[in-house]
Structure 1
Amino acid sequence: MKLHYQRGAVMLEAAYVLPLIILVILFMVETLNYALNSFAVSDVLTAAHSEIISEVSDVAALGTTLRYVTCASGKVALKGDAAATLKSDVEAKLKDVMKFATPVTAKFTESAVGGFDVYVVNVKGVANTLIVPNSLGVPLPISVDTIISVKDTCTPA
């Protein structure tokens, strides 16, 4: 009995299955990179949020003015230049943490809702891809929001 080799089946596997496996691996690496970049942006915003909330507590107790928060007319509020300061701080920290394919933008929106001063910080950018060209990463922008609500009283020092 003579064995017959199946060269055609091996060629078919090499031509169709191997490229699919490579594409799946590249997709997994880029997905992990996207998740880590999103986590980094979220982490920077969470740190900024925590710092502002800590300052709100300190200003309410002491009636002083700190980096982002001040005591004005018996009410704790963000300082007039807090938006610009926060925006530059977030952008600087993100430049240290990761590289973006497009410049990072931080948008600061202020409104009053039910007696609360509500501040929304939105950070947008497109992170660099690891393996595939950056033009393929453009459809996956990173956009992270944090909402800071302030309603506290203080006695000016």
Structure 2
Amino acid sequence: MRAVVQRVTDADVTVDGEITGSIKKGFVVLLGVEEADDIADVRYIADKVSGLRIFEDEHEKMNLSLMDVGGQVLAVSQFTLLGDARKGKRPSFIKAARPEKAKELYDEFVRQIKEKGIFTGEGVFQADMLVRINNDGPVTILLDSKKLF
């Protein structure tokens, strides 16, 4: 499972002209599910996201987590994070999970984040989404449950 975590001042997702999810200060989490992923991968990413210390403390050091600052999460499923462009110019998505499995694990990620008491907005699974992100910093962190990076 891969996640791109962006620290934001605010963000929202629009589908067919309607906002389906929006947050204030927090993280936009773009989430890609791999075919080999399971509940352990979800747990790893959810724990990393909720505990990631990338908000500044009183000494201007990135030392505070989402939970420390009362931040929110906007979760957006994005299978293209599993795109492999090492060969040729057209990415291969062969490692991306089938939609049924991807939705199940995406929904579990959202459930685990909410279970931690974090307000969570969402995109619409498999929809054509317009994601508006006001990246704060900018700060962007890459996570991979297989610890490839």
Q: TM-score, normalised by structure 2?
A: 0.27
- Higher strand fraction (1 or 2): 2
- Higher helix fraction (1 or 2): 1
Larger gyration radius, structure 1 or structure 2: 1
- Greater relative CO (CA pairs within 8 A, separation 6+): 2
